[in-house]
Amino acid sequence: MAPGDVLIGLHSPGLRSNGYSLARHVVFDVAGMSLEDPAWDAQDAPSLADELLVPSVIYAPTVRELGSQVEIHSVAHITGGGIGGNLNRVLNDHTDAIVERGSWEPPRIFAEIQRLGSISDEEMAKVFNLGIGMIVTIPESESQRALEVLESLGQRAAVIGRIVEGTGAVVLS
């Protein structure tokens, strides 16, 4: 990877097996909710059980197909530790990743957990993937093609940041 590359975030629909200890503490111990309760205050809200058990996405077939059509420089699976704790593993000593937090919309469950537990943005970013399950790094010139391929595969995705010169850090801006 090199400065100028872009980060494409593949959306994740739910908690994706990350942060369940914190989520469980907030919704059950702090908020006193039950699995049958609505996950948030809205007429069409799913039950808490349904929202907490949204299945994980298996990204391997999608990333394999993407790689057959565009040049991929790195792939980071965003699991426990969040974006910063996983994306840093693919950086070299001469690059940083700048991730623009407003470039995607996290699933609503994250905002509800944060609100109910009065959790800081920093803690949320350390514990949860915030709706990004995989990040691929590609040349900027291939970003539009990558998004088209991902859309054709039924995978929601967005350009969520870029690679710049640096020291191996991940910056969530």
Per-residue model confidence as pLDDT tens digits over 143-162: 999 999 999 999 999 999 99
Tens-digit pLDDT profile for residues 84-124: 999 999 999 999 999 999 999 999 999 999 999 999 999 99
Residue 56 in this model has a pLDDT that exceeds 90? no
What whole-number percentage of the chain has pLDDT above 90? 86
Q: Alpha carbon of 86 to those of 66, 74, 120, 131, 141: distances in Å? A: 20, 12, 19, 14, 25
Residue 38 in this model has a pLDDT that exceeds 90? yes
Residue 77 in this model has a pLDDT that exceeds 90? yes
Query: What is the chain's alpha carbon radius of gyration, rounded to the nearest angstrom?
Result: 17
Residue 27 in this model has a pLDDT that exceeds 90? yes
Residue 20 in this model has a pLDDT that exceeds 90? no
C-alpha 46 chain-centroid distance: 21
The C-alpha atoms of residue 26 and residue 24 are separated, in whole angstroms, by 6
Q: What DSSP character marks residue 167?
A: S
Which token pair is 165?
A: 């010169």
Query: Closest Cα to residue 11, out of 133, 126, 121?
Result: 133
Which domains are delineated in the chain? 6-18+56-106+118-172 (3.90.650.10)
Q: Which of 4-13, 59-68, 78-87 has the lowest mean pLDDT?
A: 78-87
Residue 17 in this model has a pLDDT that exceeds 90? no
